[in-house]
């Protein structure tokens, strides 16, 4: 019998019979691996375990422990969902079913599903899991594929958009679905799942297309993993920033402005504390803060290239018979400020910051509290420098990002470096290589761990992205450092070099929060609204035990406010117990109880938000304690 040999990830070689599959390899290595393997990577390409291996291939078997294995598992779960829906609702037309951050979904052309429908669908999915139906791949030409899916116009439209042939998968004898794959071995591997919510969506995300019904789900190989995830979802519900924002009177969304947040007084306090810290950090590093118009002539957006790439997300109007656009980004305006006067190389690096309000048209179906809005504030900075200044500039920005995230309690920061795309990019390759080497060298010189994403840079330059993790281990991409070889040339930015010649500066686009609104949403859920004292809209609530002590309460509040603390007096004719409960529900950091003894002694009885009693303190001692806590930006403990 002829043999083939494959190379494993550790460099060892394994001989197998000719025609052996990935599953045969898994069985040869261990029965546990054969049970848990989901797909296989062959010479860098993911494929199915049931397909034969080729001689000389480098292979890697993937389980749920690998992110690519997770994607395969959940995409297969989406196909399981589609099979169950079609079995129960034969008129439903499956469209697409991708993996997303929160699990997977599948869109169907069908009247709206109900919660009771979800229960039936889950039950049918469990039946299909028990049947352990194998996934099998078939590759066909376009004509055959259109015949196979002739009863589904959505699939036919997809097939017509393919440049080459198509592939589809079967699950058992009756269900077929158009897909590139790969998929797991059989439905029996998809043991633990939960359908999580219903939504509507437009076909291909365009409002002029048919409306579809979307079913979301999550899946895991083991029940305990699913249980842990569902418990985390319940915790996320409790921490939902939309609910907390309403309870704390931070912000609201109104029917008159869908997707446009309305900031209330308490929310503005929170914003201003964050921005005060942001400004202090930038001023210390020599940044110049500017402000550019929210609306600029449409011709500028053509020159900058944003019109060609962003017009569907932009808002347009006409002034004096000329086209104008509301800015979706700050950079063109920043470059106009740079171009207002001539610059010398001696001025570089020139660091220009802007808290710019931008507008982007988002479809109503994707709007989500502060996480996805149509109006938000970008904490932008544009740094103009020469290529040889790049390393020190990036190092300074990296230190700034670390300080900023740390101040808010985000110590788990994941960094990714993305390099030149293989095809669509501008600039000279030598220029890219110098910039990439500078970014990579700076990260390594600072001892920063990062993930390399080859070919994933923007078309105009390489970039560093920052992902922070909140207390629920969710990852959020916030900050970015992007090098731009494109926009300075497009808008004619120049500086006078030592040779008295004009040169285009290297432009660095840089943000830390990315979106102030989204960052506040993240903070709100991270802290469950129990903000550190330096951020809290109300830092202390004075609670008189009866109306007799309202005058003393007003005197205490006056002293606290004079010391710079944000304090309020609860003047309601309620019991002390209710006042305490309400202050804790409002997430006020300190409750200061005052009665006859406190009024006589000029003191306050202090309780923390966590209902820990700190005893009786003079007003001055309490103020001193708070001043230290604010100055050191102490984070909440044990809440």
Sign of the CA dihedral with 385 first, then 386, 392, and 394 last: positive
Same domain, 395 and 500: yes
Active-site residue identified among 83, 378, 482, 591: 378
pTM of the model: 0.82
Task: Please give the pLDDT value at position 65.
Answer: 94
Does any domain span residue 257?
A: no
Q: Considering 18, 43, 63, which residue would you say is the last residue of a domain?
A: 63
Does any domain span residue 610?
A: yes
Same domain, 15 and 78: no
Residue 455 region by backbone torsions, left for phi larger than 0, else alpha for psi between -120 and 50, else beta: left
Same domain, 231 and 287: no
Catalytic, 179? Answer no
Q: Domain containing 7 — which CATH number?
A: 3.10.20.30
Which SS3 state, helix, strand or coil, does residue 495 take?
strand
Q: Considering 502, 527, 552, which residue would you say is the last residue of a domain?
A: 527
Mean pLDDT over residues 616-636, rounded?
95
Do the Cβ atoms of 20 and 30 come closer than 8 Å? no
Does any domain span residue 311?
A: no
Task: Please give the pLDDT value at position 164.
Answer: 78
DSSP single-letter state for residue 500: S
Mean pLDDT over residues 570-584, rounded?
93
Which SS3 state, helix, strand or coil, does residue 224 take?
helix
Task: Please give the pLDDT value at position 636.
Answer: 86
Does any domain span residue 7?
A: yes
Q: Domain containing 482 — which CATH number?
A: 3.30.930.10
Tell me which residue has tokens 């995300």.
Answer: 205
Does any domain span residue 313?
A: no
Confidence grade of residue 213 (pLDDT, cut at 50, 70, 90): very high
**What's the mean pLDDT when you consider all of the chain?**
93
Q: How far apart are CA 122 and CA 336, in angstroms?
A: 57
Do the Cβ atoms of 396 and 430 come closer than 8 Å? no
Task: Please give the pLDDT value at position 473.
Answer: 85
Mean pLDDT over residues 582-610, rounded?
94
Q: Which residues contact 473 (CB under 8 A, 6 or more apart)?
A: 232
In the 3-class helix/strand/coil scheme, how is 108-125 assigned residue by residue?
EECCCCCHHHHHHHHHHH
351-366 pLDDT, tens per residue?
Answer: 999 999 999 998 877 8
Same domain, 465 and 552: no
Residue 206 clears pLDDT 90, i.e. is over it: no
Peptide bond into 153 cis (omega under 30): no
Same domain, 587 and 546: yes
CA–chain centroid gap for 468, Å, is 9
State the DSSP string of 157-208: HHHHT-SS-EEEEEETTTEEEE------SBGGG--EEEEEEEEEEEGGG-TT
- Give the residue, 388 or 169, on which the prediction is more confident: 169
Same domain, 560 and 613: yes
Environment class of residue 483 by beta-carbon count within 10 Å: exposed (0-12), middle (13-18) or buried (19+)? buried
Active-site residue identified among 463, 518, 587, 607: 463
Does any domain span residue 464?
A: yes
243-296 pLDDT, tens per residue?
Answer: 999 999 999 999 999 999 999 999 999 999 999 999 999 999 999 999 999 999
Same domain, 211 and 81: yes
Confidence grade of residue 173 (pLDDT, cut at 50, 70, 90): confident
DSSP single-letter state for residue 58: B
Confidence grade of residue 486 (pLDDT, cut at 50, 70, 90): confident
Catalytic, 197? Answer no
In the 3-class helix/strand/coil scheme, how is 301-347 assigned residue by residue?
HHHHCHHHHHHHHCEEEEECCEEEEECCCCHHHHHHHHCCCCCEHHH
β-bridge pairing 603-608 and 475-484: unpaired
Q: Domain containing 546 — which CATH number?
A: 3.40.50.800
Pick from 75, 72, 74, 95: nearest CA to 85: 95
Mean pLDDT over residues 585-593, rounded?
95
Active-site residue identified among 360, 372, 374, 510: 360
93-110 pLDDT, tens per residue?
Answer: 999 999 998 899 999 999
Domain containing 275: what range? Answer: 270-292+330-527
Same domain, 371 and 420: yes
Give me the phi and psi of 189, to 5 degrees please: -75, -15
Q: How far apart are CA 388 and CA 540, in angstroms?
A: 51
Q: How far apart are CA 73 and CA 77, in angstroms?
A: 6
Active-site residue identified among 36, 214, 327, 331: 331
Does any domain span residue 382?
A: yes
β-sheet bridge partners, residue 100: 103
How many domains in the chain? 4
Active-site residue identified among 380, 465, 470, 570: 380
Task: Please give the pLDDT value at position 639.
Answer: 67
β-bridge pairing 463-469 and 413-418: antiparallel
Sign of the CA dihedral with 357 first, then 363, 368, and 369 last: positive
β-bridge pairing 350-359 and 288-289: parallel
Residue 443 clears pLDDT 80, i.e. is over it: yes
Same domain, 73 and 53: no
Same domain, 106 and 10: no
Catalytic, 227? Answer no
- Give the residue, 611 or 587, on which the prediction is more confident: 587
Confidence grade of residue 304 (pLDDT, cut at 50, 70, 90): confident
Q: How far apart are CA 125 and CA 428, in angstroms?
A: 53
Catalytic, 463? Answer yes
Task: Please give the pLDDT value at position 216.
Answer: 96
Q: E-assigned strands of 393-552?
A: 413-418, 451-453, 463-469, 475-484, 495-496, 502-503, 506-511, 540-544
Catalytic, 380? Answer yes
DSSP single-letter state for residue 374: S
Q: Considering 63, 79, 95, which residue would you say is the last residue of a domain?
A: 63
Q: How far apart are CA 256 and CA 316, in angstroms?
A: 19
Residue 638 clears pLDDT 70, i.e. is over it: no
β-sheet bridge partners, residue 94: 108
Same domain, 420 and 466: yes
Does any domain span residue 245?
A: no
Residue 619 has a CB neighbour count (10 Å cut-off) of 17
């Amino acid at each position: 019998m002829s043999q083939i040999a494959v190379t494993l990830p550790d460099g060892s070689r394994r001989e197998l019979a000719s025609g052996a599959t990935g599953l045969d390899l898994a069985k040869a290595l261990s029965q546990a691996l054969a049970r848990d393997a989901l797909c296989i990577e062959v010479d860098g390409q993911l494929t199915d375990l049931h397909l034969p291996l080729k001689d000389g291939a480098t292979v890697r078997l993937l389980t749920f422990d690998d992110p690519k294995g997770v994607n395969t598992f959940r995409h297969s779960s989406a196909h399981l969902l589609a099979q169950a829906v079609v079995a129960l609702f034969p008129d439903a037309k499956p469209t697409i079913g991708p993996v997303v951050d929160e699990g997977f979904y599948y869109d169907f052309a069908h009247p709206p599903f109900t919660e009771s429908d979800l229960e039936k669908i889950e039950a049918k999915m469990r039946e299909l899991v028990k049947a352990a139906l194998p996934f099998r791949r078939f590759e066909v030409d376009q004509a055959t594929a259109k015949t196979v899916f002739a009863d589904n116009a959505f699939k036919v439209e997809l097939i017509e958009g393919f440049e080459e042939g198509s592939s589809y998968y079967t699950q058992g004898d009756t269900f077929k679905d158009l897909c590139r794959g790969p998929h797991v071995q059989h439905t029996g591997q998809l043991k633990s799942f939960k359908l999580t919510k219903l939504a509507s969506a437009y076909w291909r995300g365009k409002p002029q297309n048919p409306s579809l019904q979307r079913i979301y789900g999550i899946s895991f190989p083991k029940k305990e993993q699913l249980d842990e995830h569902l418990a985390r979802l319940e915790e996320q519900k409790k921490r939902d920033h939309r609910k907390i924002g309403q309870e704390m009177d931070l912000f609201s969304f109104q029917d008159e402005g869908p997707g446009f947040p309305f900031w209330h007084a308490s929310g503005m306090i929170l914003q201003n504390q964050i921005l005060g810290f942001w400004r202090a950090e930038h001023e210390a590093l020599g940044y110049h803060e500017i402000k550019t118009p929210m609306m600029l002539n449409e011709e500028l957006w053509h020159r900058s290239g944003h019109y060609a790439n962003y017009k569907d997300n932009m808002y347009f109007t006409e002034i004096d018979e000329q086209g104008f656009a509301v800015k979706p980004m700050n950079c063109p305006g920043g470059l106009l400020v740079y171009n207002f006067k001539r610059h010398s190389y001696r001025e570089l690096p020139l660091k220009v910051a802007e808290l710019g309000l931008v507008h982007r048209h988002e479809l109503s179906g994707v709007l989500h509290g502060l996480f996805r809005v149509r109006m938000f504030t970008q904490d932008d900075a544009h740094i103009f420098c020469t290529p040889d200044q790049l390393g020190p500039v990036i190092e300074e920005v990296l230190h700034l990002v670390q300080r900023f995230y740390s101040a808010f309690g985000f110590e788990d920061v994941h960094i990714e470096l993305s390099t030149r795309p293989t095809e669509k990019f501008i600039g000279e390759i030598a220029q890219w290589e110098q910039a990439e080497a500078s970014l990579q060298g700076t990260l390594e010189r600072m001892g920063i761990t990062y993930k390399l994403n080859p070919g994933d840079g923007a078309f105009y330059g390489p970039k560093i992205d920052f992902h922070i993790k909140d207390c629920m281990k969710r990852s959020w991409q916030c900050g970015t450092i992007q090098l731009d070889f494109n926009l300075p040339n497009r808008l004619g930015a120049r500086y006078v070099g030592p040779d008295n010649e004009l040169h285009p500066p290297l432009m660095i686009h840089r943000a830390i929060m990315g979106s102030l609104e989204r960052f506040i949403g993240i903070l709100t859920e991270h802290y469950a609204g129990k903000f550190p004292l330096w951020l809290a809209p109300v830092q202390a609530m004075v609670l008189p035990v009866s109306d007799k002590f309202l005058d003393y309460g007003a005197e205490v509040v006056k002293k606290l406010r004079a010391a710079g603390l944000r304090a309020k007096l609860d003047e309601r004719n309620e019991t002390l117990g209710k006042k305490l409960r309400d202050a804790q529900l409002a997430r006020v950091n300190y409750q200061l109880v005052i009665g006859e003894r406190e009024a006589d002694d000029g003191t306050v009885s202090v309780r923390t938000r966590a209902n820990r009693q700190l005893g009786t303190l003079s007003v001055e001692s309490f103020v001193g304690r708070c001043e230290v806590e604010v100055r050191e930006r102490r984070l909440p403990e044990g809440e």
